[in-house]
Amino acid sequence: MSTKPRILVARAIFPEVLDFLSQHFEVESNQDDLDWSPEELVRHLQDKDGALTTGSVSISAALLAACPQLRICANMAVGFNNFDVPAMTAAGVQGTNAPDVLTETTADFGFALLMATARRVTESEHYLRAGKWTRWSYDMFCGSDIHGATLGIIGMGRIGQAIARRGALGFGMQVIYHNRSRLDAATEAACGARYVDKDTLLQSADHVLLVVPYSAASHHTIGAAELARMKPTATLINIARGGIVDDAALAVALREGRIAAAGLDVFEGEPKVHPDLLTVPNVVLTPHIASATRRTRLAMAQLAADNLVDYFFRGTVRTPVNTPLPVARSA
């Protein structure tokens, strides 16, 4: 009988990372990438010591109660709003995430989404593909400038700072930001960014970009009231998490021209997308791919795997999201 710890890999991952895990653990993997119900997930986890999860795999208090052997969940994502962190802490279950390795890739995509939105790339491509482009005109798909414009960033962690550097240093943008706490002066200078309150940011920015973590406190950070404070010429970019923006209110604002355009990589209730967003032309929609390069996604999976190995064989983890209480778990 195997004496290796038993782990579940709850979604499909790179085969080389699965091979690495198999050297250390008895592994059950979901390489068919099935969408398990909460009950099915419990069934697969009940005899496991650890799990490698993604943002779509919910670790709830009910699941923890049903899986007393579970000791660690390693998330292949920088966000961990799929974890009930207080319940995990109380149950003595370690949680980890995958920061740093996706910072620059995600910042690249955030800027790409900003540019595509401001310059109406998706809208104009649909026009061309539909065979509507028959002649040039001086005002055809005029968008808004990026170089020299004011970029407002809400959420100034690693990714927000990387985006700020791109804007200030690469595009000569005036960068303003709002955050729960102000950065130190040296970091602000390195990012070329200036701290302002949220209302000032919304009223001043030509482009508002969201990189704030999701929590109950940040739910609908941008709703109808906030959209009303933005310039009618402004764009809104969300690469943070679904739920940061009230998608229904945004669809109304886009349809009524209260803001110029939006670029969204994340959605409330994803993979479902609010149907009204699918009927407005002035929005760029992508399926949660901001970190999607092979090198970055591989690094995310490997960091989650390394956290599992370190936990069981070294008694530590690299990127903890909690400090579990010393609760005895089932052997």
For residue 84, pLDDT over 70 is answered with yes
- pLDDT score of 221: 97
- One-character DSSP codes across 231-264: -TT-EEEE-S-TTSB-HHHHHHHHHTTSSSEEEE
pLDDT tens readout for residues 262-307: 999 999 999 999 999 999 999 999 999 999 999 999 999 999 999 9
- pLDDT score of 130: 97
Q: What separation, in Å, do the N-terminal and C-terminal C-alpha atoms of the chain show? A: 15
Q: List, in sequence order, every residue forming a beta bridge with 283; answer none if it has no partner.
A: 262
Angstrom distance (rounded) from CA 288 to CA 285: 9
**Ordered domains of the chain (ranges, CATH):** 6-101+294-314 (3.40.50.720), 103-285 (3.40.50.720)
- pLDDT score of 330: 57
For residue 331, pLDDT over 90 is answered with no
Give residue 2's pLDDT band: very low, low, confident or very high (50, 70, 90).
low
Cite the active site residues.
241, 270, 288
Give residue 68's pLDDT band: very low, low, confident or very high (50, 70, 90).
very high
pLDDT tens readout for residues 17-33: 999 999 999 999 999 99
pLDDT tens readout for residues 214-244: 989 999 999 999 999 999 999 999 999 999 9
Angstrom distance (rounded) from CA 134 to CA 188: 48
Enter the DSSP assignment of 222: B
Are 183 and 155 a contacting pair, CB within 8 Å? no
Count the Cβ atoms, other than its own, within 10 Å of residue 325: 11
Radius of gyration of the chain (CA): 22
